[in-house]
Chains A and B, each alone.
Chain A
Amino acid sequence: MLSVRDISCRQAVALVSDYLEGGLSRRERRRLEKHLANCGACSAYLDQMRTTIALSGSVKTSDLSAEALDDLVDVYWHFIEDSQ
């Protein structure tokens, strides 16, 4: 049975991204942290979000080959040389 001040798991997961961004009010943060301290499932969800963000930081979105990269850099470099 939840007390009036407790939040459910469903409410907790809705706060997790903002929590990681430091975007919660002090009251919201305290309520979420209290829930996380007593809920292994939501702590696992927090771990999933942290890992997802860490993995995103290792993604390279470029599909440029080294050759294509050199070609593009050549274009800009010629522009620099021509404008001097």
Chain B
Amino acid sequence: MSDSDLLTKFIAGDRSAFRELFEEHNDAVLQVARYYAGERYEDVAQETWLAVCKGAHRFEGRSSFKTWLLHICANRARSLGYRESKYLSVDLQDPVAADRFDEGGAWRAPPVPFSDLLADNEERSSVLRVVHAAISELRDPTRAVVTLRDVEGLDTREVAEVLQLSEANVRVLLHRGRAYVREAVEKWRGGES
């Protein structure tokens, strides 16, 4: 069932529809709340869901429900006095360690494709744990950007709006965060074989 169908049912008094929306989107709310409020993120997340409970009928469908919800979260955080991450620095780092390349910039040892990891169920659950751990190790704002873009599926513009960053900064942070996660998978793969 789509989010807007669930929302219609929720507004009509269907608790299970609200539960489904909450279960589907609470992780994204927590990420945005953590980005703005750090350790006080639970307060912001709670305020967000309370605002949704009070104002669900105001959703006009001009964006996705998730984007609307995350804008509410960002607005609640700011109205509570929180601002975007203070420690934002967007220096562009090499996505792959320099010593993997020779003086001319060519690979010393070529990387091995990962795509087979998408097929094997047993290996897949292991690699998903590695990916989850690597994303958790990222610091905000990189963690928030990678989570909203790659885990939650917002587009770059939506991520930039919700986190109050430029799209260029979002792309730099994505570059950095994805490189870290890719490297974690590569190390795990090297260790398991």
Contacts and interface: CB of A to CB of B under 8 A. Distances in A.
Q: Interface of chain B, helix or strand or loop or mixed?
A: helix
A52 B131 contact: yes
B115 A55 contact: no
Given A41-B107, A69-B19, A55 B127 contact: yes
A interface bracket (residues with beta carbon within 8 Å of B)? 35 or more
B49 to A, nearest CB: 6
A16 to B, nearest CB: 7
Contacts of B96: 10, 13, 45
A73 B105 contact: no
A49 B178 contact: yes
Contacts of B110: 40-41, 44
Interface of B: 15, 18-19, 22-23, 26-27, 30-31, 49-50, 53-54, 92, 94-96, 98, 101, 104-107, 110-115, 117-118, 124, 127-128, 131-132, 135-136, 146-147, 150-151, 153, 156, 167-168, 171, 174-175, 178-179, 181-182, 185-186
